[in-house]
Amino acid sequence: MVTGLEQDRIFMELLEPNLEKLWRFILSFIKDKDDAKDIMSDAILAAYENFGKLESHEAFLSWLFTTARRLVYKAGKKKADIFGASHFDLDDFKSGNLSPQEVSELNDLYSALDKLPSEQKEAVVLTSIYGFSTAEAADIQNTVPNTVKVRVYRAKRKLKELLGS
Amino acid sequence: MQDLDKYLNTARKAELDNVPFDKDGIGSMLQKHREAGSQNFFKKILSKYGKLKMYSIMSIITASILFISSMMLDSNDSNPTVKAKNIQITIGNDTTNIENYNSDEHDLVDIALNKSTPTVKAKNIKIISGSDTTNIDNYNSDEHDLVDIALNNSTNSINVENTQNNEEDEYEDFISIGSSLKIHKDMLDKDEQGNYIIPMNRGVKEFDKLLTTDEVLTFADKFQKDNRGKFKDTTFLIYSPLNSSQSKYLRWQHLVFDNATWNLNTSVPNSVKLRYASDANAKGRLEYANVNIALDNESDFFRLMNEMENNISKTLDVSLLKELCNVPLSDYYSKLEEITLRIDNADIAKQALLYANMNRMLIGNPFAEFKLKDKGLLLPQESLEKLGFKFYDNKFTYPLDETFTEKSPKFFADEAYNKNKEVLKNGVEEWFINSKDGKLDPEWGKHIRMMLSSTTERSTDSDFLKEDHIQGYVQLSYPELVTSREVNVITPISKRNGHDFGLYLSSLKNSNVSDLKELYNLNAKYRDLQSIMSEKKSDEVSEQDRNELKKLELTANNALHTLKYSKLIPIEIPIPYGIHSKEELAKDDFSSVTLWYYPDEKFLDALPVEIRDKVVKEMNLLESVVAGELPASDACQALDGEESLLGLCNLADMAIQNLNAAPNPTDGNCEISYSLTEERYTKMMLLDNSGRYVKDIADWQNQTTGEYNFNLDISSLPNGNYNIAVFTNKNEKIMFKLMKK
């Protein structure tokens, strides 16, 4: 049997490299950074509590996102205006990583993303930005791969329109 | 998609600084959480029930037989600590003994859960708290709350036994499927080992006949009565060919009909399916108790949909449904007969394929689907008769083919084709002649002409030919067209990433199938090159590669544009889940088929009002462009920003306008002219009818505002239709059809 301490260590090992991704994922849906922070800490705790139920560590990231997504939506139900554009500033990014132009591109992209239905946005964020496979994204979105593909397809078509103009 | 990819790349690259949590922060957060965790439970109870001090909370926590020989509880508001001796936890066969328990050091929940699944089931639980004893025969942690039971028991406010029995009765005949779904065992089948399995389309066997509205209602009533208690949250779903939730053109959902919800979804063409489903979640959609209401034509179906759309959340007009349901379609079901047909002649096969597609859709026969996992077509009797088959001895036989006996499962093409090509050919050609100019034989075409279209993902040659890759598709062989081996041309019944395969087929009616292959390869090549280049940094990419990519992109992607002036309206139809297994869905890109409709009067009538207006408006504009009343350059603008369904916006694109060629048709030499409203880099090239690159007319050059003329000599090229395409550096492009004769 895995002891509690061992479990903690594994959990931290899995979590640490993904903190930034989790933060960015939550930030793509939550307007306010404080709200996002709360949700993130809730997500980490929820993940920690249920870590024992996770069957395979390979699925950790998608499972973590599933948890986070649920909390994001839960927060959205309580407080409808919580969803919104996350406008990134240059300060938000690791220095030297992005040029000002790229930040502006990013802002364009995210404001375009905000115009999509949330499910489409989520699908495209998960697959095209985070590189989840369709099957994983489907798990996260609690649907079938087919639907995710349709969502991504529509999202991209719409994004292309929005960004092209 | 280039630009979008760039944006997404940036987004992938972006890494945020200032992540609010780091390793140490989380470590201490978790530490706090652990410390709080053992106390939270008590705090919750204490806050709920006030200051309960001296009763055995211990018994509450554990999930199974919890026998406490003696225990002692010290608790205060801030730091309740539970201490006990000789605790025994039994879950199933596992027993854990703890001699001295201290809630500060141990977490009983953890101890218990580590030995079992999160859902704890146990038999014969005995809860002893003080002098009270509660017995529970069957315990399920999902359904019971030991805390409640124990607390109520100690206050004697609830009769625990009764609650227990009621729950038990309700669930004893249910089988758990997954974590959340329970299904009555009557609804399940048993396999050979006696395990319960979920029957797919279980109800179809029982209900696959046409019902009148009264019958439907009676059935619905009876079904609900008979199965009361067997379903939770019973839902009625109406299955229709055009899915609502995913189609942007037609939307409707959840119509309230009597006391159940009717849902529209995708299934067989022209049919509405009533469906009872329990907890129809997206992952484990269960299918049983289906009623098919098939409508014999699209227009009636559209009427039904229209009606439903107008009646969202209201009761459906029963008389309409009744009227629709009375369409005498039952004949279809008895007439159906399947046959496997292999045709080895390209033209005939192509036509038969189109014919079969059309026929399937046109007749709207719910069972005239292509046979899955088998090579061949499943054709309805009418189609077969048109193809010259005779119904003989309860089998369809091809009259001239002596080799076809009851024992031979297939026609083998060489003989069959040689002997029967005239008959076969006449059968399909008759249909083709009739279908030209949108005029279909009414007997066949009923109301709407449409073309099955689908797209296909990029596939390499070998993938393309792989057996498992093409399962579920119509498959025809064209040995004549490729020198060394057989080539399968498929019509996927699904839409895949890439381009519209069906469109190619329709455009290639007069050319040959190798064009199609070439387009596939071209597209594959383009994507390969693109993916290679996207991995490189921009300064590593050679100019040559870039030009090659550009050329491929223009040719492959714009193959479609050659067809965009057609007056066909795409209606996208998602593929129902039922056709493919979950695994297949996971590995393939199934999503939907697109049907292309001729917008004739009846079709327009059947459209929802807002779309109809849009289509009519665009059609009118298109006509005035064709008549020369409206300059092509203004046509797109006249749409007021609405989405173009008929490709009106391809006539002119932003800065490039008035592309024209004269004389047209030409004998080889003609003059091409266009004008620019802004300064642009432009390039002009010649594409063939199916959009393949033929040659450059003018290479990239900077052009200022004004009119431009070019001479084009195509006298060396074969006669036929060509497309002139002009592209600019701002992603504008227009095309013009040129005919050489």
Q: What is the pLDDT of residues B518-543, one digit of tens each?
A: 555 555 666 677 777 777 766 677 77
User: Is the distance from CB of B693 to CB of B687 less than 8 angstroms?
Assistant: yes
Specify which residues B73 forms β-bridges with: B82
CA distance B400 to B408: 15
Q: Within 10 A of B479 (CB to CB), how many other CB atoms are there?
A: 15
Element (H, E) at B165: helix B160-171
List CB contacts (< 8 A) between B27 and chain A: 12
Whether the CB of A38 is below 8 Å from some CB of chain B: the reply is no
pTM (2 d.p.)? 0.29
Backbone angles phi, psi at B551, to 5 degrees: -65, -45
Say if the Cβ atoms of B13 and A97 lie within 8 Å: yes
Q: What is the pLDDT of residues B268-324, one digit of tens each?
A: 333 344 333 333 333 333 323 333 333 434 455 555 555 544 443 333 333 443 343
User: Is the distance from CB of B187 to CB of B275 less than 8 angstroms?
Assistant: no
Go through chain B and tell me how many residues it has.
741
How far is the alpha carbon of B110 from chain A, nearest alpha carbon, in Å?
10
B397-403 contacts at long range (C-beta below 8 A, 24 or more positions apart): B399/B423
- Considering CB atoms only, which of A15, A154, A163 is closest to B3? A163
Please give the residue of chain A at the shortest CA–CA distance from B117.
A53
Mean pLDDT, residues B441-455 taken together: 25
User: Is the distance from CB of B548 to CB of B568 less than 8 angstroms?
Assistant: no
Sign of CA dihedral B346, B573, B258, B306: negative
Q: How confident is the model at residue B26 (pLDDT cuts 50, 70, 90)?
A: confident
| Strands B235-240 vs B264-266: parallel, antiparallel or unpaired | parallel
Q: Which of A134, A114, A159, A94 is nearest to B13 (CA)?
A: A94
Q: Out of B71-75, B231-235, B489-493, B646-650, pick the least confident.
A: B489-493
CA distance B363 to B445: 7
pLDDT of residue B666: 79
Whether the CB of A89 is below 8 Å from some CB of chain B: the reply is no
CA distance B358 to B219: 34
Whether the CB of A10 is below 8 Å from some CB of chain B: the reply is no
The 3-state secondary structure of chain A reads CCCHHHHHHHHHHHHHHHHHHHHHHHHCCECCHHHHHHHHHHHHHHHHHCHHHCCCHHHHHHHHHHHHHHHHHHHHHHCHHHECCCCCCHHHECCCCCCHHHHHHHHHHHHHHHCCCHHHHHHHHHHHHCCCCHHHHHHHHCCCHHHHHHHHHHHHHHHHHHHHC
The yes-or-no verdict on residue B625 having pLDDT over 50 is yes
How far is the alpha carbon of A117 from chain B, nearest alpha carbon, in Å?
12
State the amino acid at position B712 in one-letter form: L
Whether the CB of A70 is below 8 Å from some CB of chain B: the reply is no
Backbone angles phi, psi at A19, to 5 degrees: -60, -45
pLDDT of residue A89: 54
List CB contacts (< 8 A) between B17 and chain A: 91-95
Q: Which of B386-390, B398-402, B480-484, B508-512 is modeled with the greatest confidence?
A: B386-390
Whether the CB of A6 is below 8 Å from some CB of chain B: the reply is no
Tokens of B603: 């079709």
The yes-or-no verdict on residue B413 having pLDDT over 50 is no
CA distance A130 to A137: 10
- Considering CB atoms only, which of B3, B21, B592 is closest to A44? B21
Q: How confident is the model at residue B81 (pLDDT cuts 50, 70, 90)?
A: very low
Q: How confident is the model at residue B224 (pLDDT cuts 50, 70, 90)?
A: low
Tokens of B103: 């809630």
The 3-state secondary structure of B35-53 reads HHHHHHHHHHHHHHHCCCC
CA distance A150 to A137: 12
List CB contacts (< 8 A) between A130 and chain B: 12
Whether the CB of A162 is below 8 Å from some CB of chain B: the reply is no
The yes-or-no verdict on residue B556 having pLDDT over 60 is no
Residues 6+ apart with CB under 8 A from B392: B399
Specify which residues B709 forms β-bridges with: B673
Tokens of B464: 């393309």
Q: Which of B186, B57, B221, B213 is nearest to B127 (CA)?
A: B57
Rg (CA), chain A: 16
Element (H, E) at B701: strand B693-703
List CB contacts (< 8 A) between A88 and chain B: 14, 16
pLDDT of residue B46: 40
Say if the Cβ atoms of B30 and A92 lie within 8 Å: no
Say if the Cβ atoms of B3 and A164 lie within 8 Å: yes
Cα A19 from chain centre? 11
- Considering CB atoms only, which of A93, A134, A146 is closest to B577? A146
| Strands B733-740 vs B693-703: parallel, antiparallel or unpaired | unpaired
CA distance B702 to B166: 83
Say if the Cβ atoms of A40 and B21 lie within 8 Å: yes
Question: Exposed e or buried b for every residue in B590-623, given b needs 16+ CB within 10 A?
Answer: bbbbbbbbbbbeebbebbbeebbebbebbbebbe
Interface test with A, best of B12, B16, B116, B572 (most A CBs within 10 A): B16
List CB contacts (< 8 A) between B570 and chain A: none
What separation in angstroms does the CA of A75 have from each of A35, A37, B508, B671?
9, 12, 54, 65
Say if the Cβ atoms of B17 and A19 lie within 8 Å: no
List CB contacts (< 8 A) between A144 and chain B: 282-283, 577, 582, 585
The yes-or-no verdict on residue B405 having pLDDT over 80 is no
How far is the alpha carbon of A66 from chain B, nearest alpha carbon, in Å?
15
Say if the Cβ atoms of B29 and A8 lie within 8 Å: no
What percent of chain B has a predicted confidence (pLDDT) above 90?
0
pLDDT of residue B555: 55
Backbone angles phi, psi at B481, to 5 degrees: -85, -20
Say if the Cβ atoms of A97 and B3 lie within 8 Å: no
Backbone angles phi, psi at B191, to 5 degrees: -90, -170
Please give the residue of chain B at the shortest CA–CA distance from A163.
B4
Sign of CA dihedral A19, A20, A25, A29: positive
How far is the alpha carbon of B265 from chain A, nearest alpha carbon, in Å?
13
Backbone angles phi, psi at A130, to 5 degrees: -90, -10
Say if the Cβ atoms of B16 and A150 lie within 8 Å: no
- Considering CB atoms only, which of A41, A52, A129 is closest to B8? A129
User: Is the distance from CB of B230 to CB of B258 less than 8 angstroms?
Assistant: no
Q: Out of B435-449, B548-562, B661-675, pick the least confident.
A: B435-449
Say if the Cβ atoms of A106 and B14 lie within 8 Å: yes
How far is the alpha carbon of A84 from chain B, nearest alpha carbon, in Å?
18
List CB contacts (< 8 A) between A109 and chain B: 7-8, 10-11
Say if the Cβ atoms of B4 and A156 lie within 8 Å: yes
Ranges under pLDDT 70 in chain A: 1-4, 31, 76-98, 100, 165
Say if the Cβ atoms of A20 and B1 lie within 8 Å: no
The yes-or-no verdict on residue B160 having pLDDT over 70 is no
Mean pLDDT, residues B248-267 taken together: 29
| CA atoms lying within 13 Å on the CB side of residue A96 | 0
Q: Which of A32-36, B100-104, B508-512, B608-612 is modeled with the greatest confidence?
A: A32-36
Whether the CB of A99 is below 8 Å from some CB of chain B: the reply is no
What separation in angstroms does the CA of A134 have from each of A156, B226, B246, B587?
15, 41, 17, 9
Say if the Cβ atoms of B582 and A15 lie within 8 Å: no
pLDDT of residue B568: 45
